Structure 1
Amino acid sequence: MRRRTALIALTICALLAGCGSRLTDEQRAALVVPQGGTAGTQDGAVTGEDGAVSEGTAEQPGAANPQEPNKQPNPPGSIAGGCQGTGGATDKGVTAGEITIANISDISGPVPGIFQSAQQATKAFVEYFNATQGSVCGRKLKLVSFDSRTDSGGDQQATSQACEQAFALVGSMSAFDQGGGPAAAGCGIPDLRASTVTAQRQRTPVSFGVASNVVNLVSSAGPDLVKSSFPGGINAAAYLYLNADASAQNAKSMQKAAEARGIKFVYSQAIDITDVNYAPYVAKLKETGTKIVYWIGSAQYAVRLQQAMRQQGYTPEAFITDPTAYDPQYIKQGGAAVDGTVVYTNGALFEESNAQVALYKQWLGRVAPGAAPSYFGMFAWSAARLFVTTAAKVGPQLTRKAMIEAVRGVHDFTAEGMVAPQDVGGKRTSACMTLVRLKGGAWSRLAPASGYSCGTLIDTGVGG
């Protein structure tokens, strides 16, 4: 099996509807895109035959004896507040001195390391919290990591184990996360994910994506930013996408939203996963006079399309794709052919000053030296932060039921400015967006001039 460093495309995987056990390895790889960091399990972790990745407690004061609460007051400004009481062993995975959380992410499988960045980010946050923020009502954090193996069965097995070992799931990312939904719902475990990528997991009552995108709800901010940035091309746009369920649904939904905002499409085309000849599609783009090209699919195929465009001397005014291309590996793979790519994102830009991004980078460097920050890592860090602040609000009598109820009330979550406002509890797509452009091998802001542009949600009726 050929190794590919990859990650699932967030915006094209809102509805992967039950296909985890039916896809071939090649088809699975086609649904993923480049990601920073190295392949394989994280440093110091060992993958077992059952899919578990062993992960020890962070060695910080207060965690040495999980049966005794940490009696040191939290430092001023701690994100866990000043709660010092403890309710003892209030629920599974909770003791007087420790809360065990689990991360389930795709580490092995046909595309090794595809969601390693989410697991690394969760580990980084646990290290950061235990070292600098005190405790959650006298309790330190312990992280247990699992490998969902890029497979719905692997996700189901890991979730079943986590149900017995941990209080909550935090920062998880699995391409076929529908596998663990029934197990999570059955045991009632709070599930604060970096993102939910299948409709089944989105509908799971205990599961919440901190990147709260859903396929049928599209923000008007995206097409409006494209219109203002490329006004000369809005009457001649094209949508190309991989011929797979999720990418097709998302392409149709996003095209409908763009049309509702006044962008005219002259060409729309599904491309089979096994198709290696992109020349005919480029010829059609030239024939129709397309000036704006949208791409939905993995970035490795976006690279292939742009290489074919370059070979035919075709350069549109804009080539637009999702934030999974916002990654060092995309530049490395595509080189000059991908220069000019425009990406829409609802997270902070790594090139700009942001306190939470700086913390994420700092602690990522400690737990995984050499790993690059990523879009999914940013949302996994945000999920871990939301877990701590919510658990602290619940207080000493921490239970799974109380945690889930508290999360349902979380709206407009930004992780202190790390991400655009996310309706985590309401499970609705973020209305805010930024465009970034690759120029000369470096990413920079395109629009708006600062912050995000926020619009209204358009219900396209596709995949809802």
Structure 2
Amino acid sequence: MKVDKIGRLAAGALAVALVASCTSERSGTALIQGGADAGGQAAASAEKFGTLPSPCGPGDAKGATDQGVTDDAITIGYGDDRGFASAPGLSKEMGDAVSALIDWCNEQGGINGRKIKGNQYDGAYMHAAKVMQESCEQDFMLVGQGFAMDDAAEQYRVACKLPTVAGFTVGPNAAMGPMKFEAVPYPVDRMNIGALRIAQEMWPDFEDETDVLLSTSPAVTTGTNKVKSAMKQIGVEPLECGVRLNDAGESGYMPFAQKIKECGAGYLWSSDSPDPGQFSLLESVKRAGAEPKYLMEATWYSTKVSEWNKGSGAGDGLHAGMIFQPFENAGEVPAVEQYMDIVKAKNGKIALLGMQATSSFLLWATAADECGSDLTRQCMVNELSKVHEWTGGGLHAPTDPGANKPASCALVVKLTGDEWEQAFPKETGEFSCGDDYVVETDAKTWGTELNDDRISTKFLTDDVIKPQTS
């Protein structure tokens, strides 16, 4: 398997993988433009980020309270894999977002008067462990980062007791690690199946006419197996047409297209990321005269896909599930427009993972504001563990960072030509939600062993920083 494909998959699929929703005919309720977030000590500030009162502002915080904290500064680490030679710019939008948000926060006075200093790291896909060791030596915390090979670095993070509010996690030990929080959790033991629930509402025959596209990629296969297991839990039995694509590419895709047509698949799910091979398959399906509807991971919501479809039209009607507000909703969702304005002002890259890193930065800053002058890692772990409803000011559906639980809401977007639009719910800016949008996964798929607190035991030590309840 080509290493650049692994990198794209790892960084993209974890960003917004398998987002979910439901309808009022189930247990669903409509949630308009995310939800409210805790405001912290800076709640009285006139500055806001979407619905979130800014956690940034002047103050009189004092003291060198922990590593990376002085009277006048807080040093955090952040970064991405932008230097990966096989995929230049990998997850660059994450570092761009955090860098821009640091400036945005410092322009307001920092956190309680302490300005934020950022150490930007480039994991370059293969160097996450080296980056983590550097961060262990100088940073207060890691914030909003996304390293595809984070599991290789997890033992160092845990050993040096470095808390993090990650932009995303990939490896199972990183996803379930101690002292780890995310604005958009993706735990190994729970799965948001909103896209599937929405498909059941949109298409009455979805349960009987759906198949899953397979791949030779181990990473894609892991994700696909989880999806197939979830499908069976909700009454969707894949047709098993047997279409398995070589991750390195095929000499031709028409035989696969013919197999899809002969199998009678009316709907196709793919856990793979958009690439030339996937595009060639969809183009071949169109030439073969088959007309399945596509339901894809949120990684397909991109300008790369819309630009391809503008020329081919083979992706018309393609749907993608998301827990983030699409950029097309910026006019009705202030947080999305604000994210775009802040990052564009610094000539940064705009993308979904950038919004995800933004939400994690805001979550970190809100907890830091609550800690006030006594800014310690222990206080941060305490405060972050209390946050059980978070939307990043309206950037995404509510999640539970404190308990490491995913959203139970979602929406679906649809591609026509080179334009995306919200397809479900019909009301622009709303999510659909339900308790049945999250399922428990088979422990055989976790890739790690969890203790009673749902923490990975692989690198766990007795002296990690744990939330204090009193």
TM-score bracket, normalised by the shorter chain, equals 0.7 to 0.9
1:206 Cα deviation after fit:
2.1
Q: Cα 1:33–1:392, aligned 2, differ >3 Å: closer, same or farther? A: closer
What is the match of residue 171 of structure 1?
144
Q: Cα 1:297–1:213, aligned 2, differ >3 Å: closer, same or farther? A: same
1:415 Cα deviation after fit:
1.0
- Spell out, residue by residue over 1:257-277, the C-alpha distance to the aligned partner (whole angstroms, 9 max, x if none): 222222232125443312413
SS at match of 2:158: helix
Q: Is the 8 A contact 2:62 2:72 kept in 1?
A: no
1:424 Cα deviation after fit:
1.4
Question: Aligned AA for 1:274?
Answer: A
Question: Aligned AA for 1:214?
Answer: P
1:216 Cα deviation after fit:
4.3
1:291 Cα deviation after fit:
0.3
Q: Is the 8 A contact 1:196 1:208 kept in 2?
A: no
Match of 1:100 among 64, 71, 75: 75
Task: Determine whether 1:348 maps to 2:325.
Answer: yes
Which has the bigger relative contact order, CA under 8 A and spacing at least 6?
Answer: 2
1:440 Cα deviation after fit:
2.5
Q: Is the 8 A contact 1:342 1:435 kept in 2?
A: yes
Task: Determine whether 1:406 maps to 2:383.
Answer: yes
What is the match of residue 90 of structure 1?
65
1:27 Cα deviation after fit:
4.8
- Spell out, residue by residue over 1:284-340, the C-alpha distance to the aligned partner (whole angstroms, 9 max, x if none): 211110000001111114323212212322221x20111111111222234322222
What is the match of residue 232 of structure 2?
259
- Say how many residue pairs are matched: 400
- Spell out, residue by residue over 1:232-272, the C-alpha distance to the aligned partner (whole angstroms, 9 max, x if none): 34311010133233321221211222222222321254433
Q: Cα 1:389–1:225, aligned 2, differ >3 Å: closer, same or farther? A: same
SS at match of 2:403: coil
TM-score scaled by length of structure 2? 0.80
1:76 Cα deviation after fit:
3.6
SS at match of 2:411: strand
Task: Determine whether 1:222 maps to 2:195.
Answer: yes
What is the match of residue 287 of structure 2?
311
Q: Cα 1:74–1:367, aligned 2, differ >3 Å: closer, same or farther? A: farther
Task: Determine whether 1:458 maps to 2:439.
Answer: yes
RMSD, aligned CA? 2.4
Q: Is the 8 A contact 1:163 1:187 kept in 2?
A: yes
1:443 Cα deviation after fit:
0.6
Q: Cα 1:216–1:308, aligned 2, differ >3 Å: closer, same or farther? A: farther
- Spell out, residue by residue over 1:23-59, the C-alpha distance to the aligned partner (whole angstroms, 9 max, x if none): 6535535636889xxxxxxxxxxxxxxxxxxxxxxxx
- Find the aligned partners of 1:167 and 1:30 in 2 and give their Cα distance: 29
TM-score scaled by length of structure 1? 0.81
Match of 2:248 among 270, 274, 283: 274
Task: Determine whether 1:188 maps to 2:161.
Answer: yes
Q: Is the 8 A contact 1:409 1:425 kept in 2?
A: yes
Match of 2:9 among 31, 48, 52: 31
Question: Aligned AA for 1:422?
Answer: T
Question: Aligned AA for 1:458?
Answer: V
SS at match of 2:328: coil
Question: Aligned AA for 1:231?
Answer: P
Q: Is the 8 A contact 1:220 1:257 kept in 2?
A: yes
- Find the aligned partners of 2:163 and 2:440 in 1 and give their Cα distance: 28
Q: Is the 8 A contact 1:236 1:291 kept in 2?
A: yes
- Unaligned 5+ residue runs, structure 2? 14-41, 48-52, 447-470
- Find the aligned partners of 1:458 and 1:32 in 2 and give their Cα distance: 22
- Find the aligned partners of 1:73 and 1:313 in 2 and give their Cα distance: 58
- Unaligned 5+ residue runs, structure 1? 1-22, 36-71
What is the match of residue 8 of structure 1?
none
Matches within 5 A, 1:132-211: 133-151=108-126, 154-211=127-184
SS at match of 2:113: coil
Structure 1 ranges of 4+ moved more than 4 A: 32-35, 72-75
What is the match of residue 324 of structure 1?
299
Matches within 5 A, 1:47-126: 75-77=45-47, 79-80=54-55, 84-109=59-84, 110-126=86-102
Question: Aligned AA for 1:271?
Answer: L
Q: Is the 8 A contact 2:97 2:354 kept in 1?
A: yes
Task: Determine whether 1:364 maps to 2:343.
Answer: yes
> What percentage of aligned pairs have identical amino acids?
24
- Find the aligned partners of 2:188 and 2:227 in 1 and give their Cα distance: 8
SS at match of 1:436: strand
- Find the aligned partners of 1:280 and 1:293 in 2 and give their Cα distance: 16
- Spell out, residue by residue over 1:187-246, the C-alpha distance to the aligned partner (whole angstroms, 9 max, x if none): 112211111111021122122232212344223432221011122343110101332333
Q: Is the 8 A contact 1:346 1:430 kept in 2?
A: yes
- Find the aligned partners of 1:32 and 1:223 in 2 and give their Cα distance: 21
1:436 Cα deviation after fit:
0.4
SS at match of 2:286: helix
